[in-house]
Structure 1
Amino acid sequence: MLLARLRGLLRPWAGPLRRRLGTVRRWRWRLRYLRDGVEGIAAELRSTVRDHAELLAAFGADVGRGVSIHGPLYIVNADGDFSKLRIGDRVHLGTGVLIDLADRVTIEDEATLSMRCSIVTHLDVGPGPLRERRPREQGPVRIGRGAYLGLGATVLHGVTIGEGATVGAHALVDRDVAPGATVLAPRARAAGGGAGG
């Protein structure tokens, strides 16, 4: 209660102070990039409370207006910067979204990726014996305008989610989804003869 009152008293000064500190923050980001490369900036995205859109744009992503990102945001396989990422206007990314930038990722205007969604643009089994049978695959991912991905949905390499499509919670999407279509993950069922089976 006391802390809430204190925050209310400080609020009129918070905006101007935040703008002044913004310059310091941007310099800190540049120094972090010089020291740790794009992995350092990816670490910033995992730990910052706000400014995800500004941070992405500062390091090469094309980020639209009115974007809402709730951290942490996980970016992996960025090659020097975030230039393979395009986020349209009024996009919402929930907490814990993972974006693999081995290839291009486009999230069009007004799309929503709920918490813990994953966008995976490549498959690589590593240096082991499977490599001969399962060579590396990769491809861009596009999430269409106004599409909705439910909690924990995963979209694999080369897939396009059509405009206005809905992907249910925990669905694994390995092929294109038509505009306006709905795809769902299987529901849990009781195993062999148990209660409710």
Structure 2
Amino acid sequence: MPAFSTLRDVLRPVGRPLRAGLAPLRRARWRARYLRDGIDGIAMELRTTVAHHEELLRLFGARVGRDVSIHGPIHIVNAGRDFSNLRIGSRVHLGTDVLIDLADAVTIEDEATLAMRASIITHLDVGPGPLRERRPRQQAPVRIGRGAYLGIGATILHGVTIGECATIGAHALVDRDVPAGATVLAPRARRAGEAPA
């Protein structure tokens, strides 16, 4: 494997201009996919591609700042016709398998980090079953403040604002606003008792 790594390092400077030259073809393929499958087809592209996430998001309506780092796949659901409900600031990092629900607006401000498998959910809908009467659909925007950090597997629910430089621990479920600079943690696993002898 070291030989392949060395070969890749040697070919990388040659590959960059070649990839840049292919960009118009790549964008034409994405537009054709949009015509065929709508925004769901583009969301599928985001789930299967290893690069060009920022370009795809911008091309289909998202506002994306400079120097954004997205380690795909990224999962976007409920986008409607385009990604215009999504605003990502500059120097934002999105880890692998981040899920963003665009039923309502999502704003991720500058320098925020969403670790792998973090989720932003902008709506609650129990579906057509018997709970619909008791639990009507709810929907509201989510804002992740500047410099905030969401740990692996953190879930932010509809209507929540995460304050500037707040820290959300791994696997925390956040259903209310978090003040700037605050830290929110999920319960730690604890031993329930002694193992049988």
Q: Which residue of 2 aligns with 1:157?
A: 158
**CA-to-partner distance for each residue in 1:108-137, whole Å, 9 max, x for gaps?**
000000000000000000000000000000
Shift of 1:189: 1.0
Residue aligned with 1:89, SS:
coil
Structure 1 counterpart of 2:42, which letter? Answer: I
Residue aligned with 1:86, SS:
strand
Q: Does 1:133 align with 2:134?
A: yes
Give runs of aligned pairs for residues 22-61 of structure 1, distance below 5 A: 22-61=23-62
Residue aligned with 2:135, SS:
coil
Moved over 6 A (4+): none
Q: Which runs of 5+ in 1 are unaligned?
A: none
Residue aligned with 2:22, SS:
helix
Q: Which residue of 1 aligns with 2:16?
A: 15
Q: Which residue of 1 aligns with 2:181?
A: 180
Q: Which residue of 2 aligns with 1:194?
A: 194
Structure 2 counterpart of 1:76, which letter? Answer: V
Shift of 1:185: 0.3
**CA-to-partner distance for each residue in 1:11-43, whole Å, 9 max, x for gaps?**
221111010111110000000000000000000
Q: Which runs of 5+ in 2 are unaligned?
A: none
Quick one: distance in 1 between partners of 2:78 and 2:28? 24
Q: Which residue of 2 aligns with 1:123?
A: 124
Q: Which residue of 2 aligns with 1:70?
A: 71
Shift of 1:5: 2.8
Shift of 1:4: 2.1
Give runs of aligned pairs for residues 94-113 of structure 1, distance below 5 A: 94-113=95-114
Residue aligned with 1:26, SS:
helix
Structure 2 counterpart of 1:130, which letter? Answer: L
Shift of 1:56: 0.3
Quick one: distance in 2 between partners of 1:22 and 1:50? 12
Q: Does 1:4 align with 2:5?
A: yes
- Among all aligned residue pairs of Structure 1 and Structure 2, give the percentage whose two residues are the same amino acid: 75
Structure 2 counterpart of 1:169, which letter? Answer: A
Length-normalised TM-score, structure 2: 0.97
Structure 1 counterpart of 2:58, which letter? Answer: A
Residue aligned with 1:24, SS:
helix
Number of corresponding residues: 194
Shift of 1:9: 2.9
Quick one: distance in 1 between partners of 2:13 and 2:176? 50
**CA-to-partner distance for each residue in 1:42-100, whole Å, 9 max, x for gaps?**
00000010110110000000000000000010000001000000000000000000000
Residue aligned with 2:146, SS:
coil
Structure 1 counterpart of 2:175, which letter? Answer: D
Shift of 1:159: 0.1
Quick one: distance in 2 between partners of 1:62 and 1:167? 24
* Root mean square deviation of aligned Cα: 0.8
Q: Which residue of 2 aligns with 1:146?
A: 147
Structure 2 counterpart of 1:194, which letter? Answer: E
Quick one: distance in 1 between partners of 2:92 and 2:188? 28
